[in-house]
Chain A
Amino acid sequence: MKIKILKYIFLDLFRSKFILAYTFFLLLMTITVVYIGHDTSKAVISILNIILFIVPLVSIIFGTIHFYNSREFIEFLLTQPVARKSIFWSEYFGLSASLSLSFITGVGLPLIFIGINIQGVYLIISGVLLTLIFVSLAFLASSAVNDRVKGIGLSILIWLYLSVIFDGFVMMIFYLLRDYPLDKIIVGLTSLNPVDLTRILILLQIEISALMGFTGATFQNFFGSITGKIYSLIMLLIWIILPAMISLRVFKRKNF
């Protein structure tokens, strides 16, 4: 498979002002949080709360816009002797790599500077996983919908659903079914949301049950720390692979 194109897609994004701004924002945010707080665990939690909000938003919106902006370039590449599949993966990994690099630079560098611990490593891994997941979802939305405005709208909706609305639904279910044992349902529901999975992955690492909330505590009881972490990692990987594979299928049959 030809991944030579990947290099150029990465290069283009690497030079873009938006990626630069994103890196600086993350850098500034991390330095501020680290500077204010003294405890690394607390800093990690504060950073976690911000990245759970920002990383999905930036990845899905920027990913969608990038896909629509690249449409003519993709068309051009498709007229060259290359398989559709390799163009798709070049776009996917080119975009994921540049967003991930921004994240690693912005959040990772300051943490390494003050002396990174295992929680920090988990934080960085989770940020990269979240980036990949939301790039997958961005590609799913933009390859399925031809209209640019509708595609961006769909992406915003996906983000809103996973970041805000989903938690509301879970709370409602808790409230309505409060008289029943809910452990399995909660674990099942959480697996349906990559943002929650990431939160739990980090919190299991920090092991502050008080801060885990209802879902986190249930998760720990249900799985124990280690199994819980492995389970959420696997689920996160599925969240990357599944949307990406579906969008590849759509991309292969698409009319340009």
Chain B
Amino acid sequence: MIELKKLGKTFGRKTVLKEIDLTFNAGEVIAVMGPNGSGKTTLLKTILGLVIPDTGMVYVNGEDCRKNFEYRKLIGYMPQIANYPENLKVKELFKIVRDIREKNSINDEELIVSFKLQEIMEKNFGQLSGGYKQRVTGAIAFLFHPQILILDEPTASLDPLSNEIMRDKIHRERDKNKLIIMTSHIISEAEELADRIIYIIDGEIVINKLLSELKNGSIEFSLNQKISSVLESIQHTG
């Protein structure tokens, strides 16, 4: 569904992505992990067309994404930080996306209901708390039944209940054969949700394995220990 070929990006002197080759398929939940500043968000932003790569190509459903914006119809995106115009009402924010996308399609309003967003539709976006802002952007990401969901730390500032709602939603969308790419720092979350773990350090992919492969055999070990042991073995060989 998404294919990255020899993707490279440098910001000034810092190389953020080094010749990344990746393929993402429908029906997969992929957790992109790595230390702060390792290039996780840049990787996602390259797929979204926010960051323009220096080298390499991004294909979504076989289409080259460089000169084309229509492919973003397929993608629902939930950013890490959302500071949208503070004098716009929440319902107006939903209207903007509905105006941009096709109006005739049936919207997925599940999250609007379960996040209780109906009650805050008339509020200005600037008045919302961080958690509510994230609920709004989450609901927008899922609104158009996108085939691809890109979620940048989707549960970072959600309360436990909303967190559960979000995880449950991700599970159910995966079962509908959607592709979900998310970043996370919470290992237990990745373990619960993801089918495949990608670990990036300094713009290089060091782990790209199915969760089952990673866990292979020794179930008693936590994913955390598995990742550290893989990282250690890399350090020894490198």
Chain B contacts with A in 37-62, Cβ cutoff 8 A: 45, 48-52
User: Does A81 lie within 8 Å of B87, measured CB to CB?
Assistant: no
Residues of A within 8 A of B100 (CB): 2, 4-5, 77, 80-82
Q: Tell me the count of chain A residues lying within 8 A, CB to CB, of chain B.
A: 28
Q: CA A75 – CA B101 in complex, angstroms?
A: 16
Please encode chain A, from 12 to 35, with 1 for each CB lying within 8 Å of some chain B CB and 0 for all others: 110110000000000000000000
Which residues of A, 228-256, contact B by the 8 Å Cβ criterion? 253-256
Which residue of chain A lies nearest to B16 when distances are taken between CB atoms in the complex? A255
| Interface contact B69-A81, CB-CB below 8 Å | yes
Which residues from B are CB-within-8-Å of A11?
87-88, 92
User: Of A78, A83, A255, which is within 8 A of B11 by CB?
Assistant: A255
**Residue of B at shortest CB range from A252?**
B52
A4/B99 in contact, CB under 8 A: yes
Interface stretch, picked from B18-26, B75-83, B214-222, is B75-83
| Contact between chains at B87 and A15 (CB < 8 Å) | yes
With A72-B83, A73-B83 known as contacts, the answer to whether A80 contacts B97 (CB < 8 A) is yes
Shortest Cβ distance from residue B64 to the other chain A in the assembled complex, whole angstroms: 16
- Contact A8–B97 (Cβ < 8 Å): no
A255→B52 contact, CB < 8 A: yes
- Whether A81 pairs with B48 at a CB distance below 8 angstroms is no
Q: Please measure, in the bound complex, the distance between the C-alpha atom of A254 and the C-alpha atom of B99, giving whole angstroms.
A: 25
Q: Name A12's contact: one of B11, B51, B87 (CB within 8 Å).
A: B87
A221 at the interface (CB under 8 A from B): no
Of the listed residues B11, B95, B96, the one surrounded by the most CB atoms of chain A closer than 10 A to its CB is: B96
**Nearest CB of chain B from residue A55's CB, rounded to whole Å:** 23
A-B pair number, CB within 8 angstroms: 77
Residues of chain B lying within 8 A (CB to CB) of residue A77: 96, 100
Query: Cβ of B69: which chain A residues have Cβ within 8 Å of it?
Result: 81-84
Contact partners of A79 in chain B: CB under 8 A: 48-50, 72, 75, 77, 79
| Nearest neighbor of B74 in chain A, beta-carbon distance | A81
Shortest Cβ gap from A68 to chain B (Å):
11
- With A4-B100, A80-B72 as known contacts, state yes or no: A72 contacts B84, CB within 8 Å: yes
B85 at the interface (CB under 8 A from A): yes
Contact B81 A12 (CB under 8 A): no
1/0 per residue, CB under 8 A from B, across A109-142: the answer is: 0000000000000000000000000000000000
CB contacts (< 8 Å) of A2 on chain B: these are: 100
Is A180 on the interface with B (CB-CB < 8 A)? no
A70 within 8 A of B: yes
Task: Decide: B51 and A255 in contact? CB cutoff 8 A.
Answer: yes
Tell me, rounded to whole Å, the shortest Cβ–Cβ distance linking A62 to chain B. Answer: 14
Among A12, A80, A84, point to the contact of B85 (Cβ < 8 A).
A12
B119 at interface (Cβ–Cβ under 8 A)?
A: no
> Are A73 and B97 touching (Cβ within 8 A)?
no
Any chain B CB within 8 A of the CB of A76?
yes
Measured CB to CB, the nearest residue on chain A to B77 is A79
| Inter-subunit contact A8/B88 (CB<8 Å) | yes
Query: Footprint of B on A, CB under 8 Å?
Result: 2, 4-5, 8-9, 11-13, 15-16, 69-70, 72-73, 75-84, 253-256
5 residue pairs bridging A and B, Cβ less than 8 Å apart? A2-B100, A13-B87, A15-B87, A73-B83, A77-B96
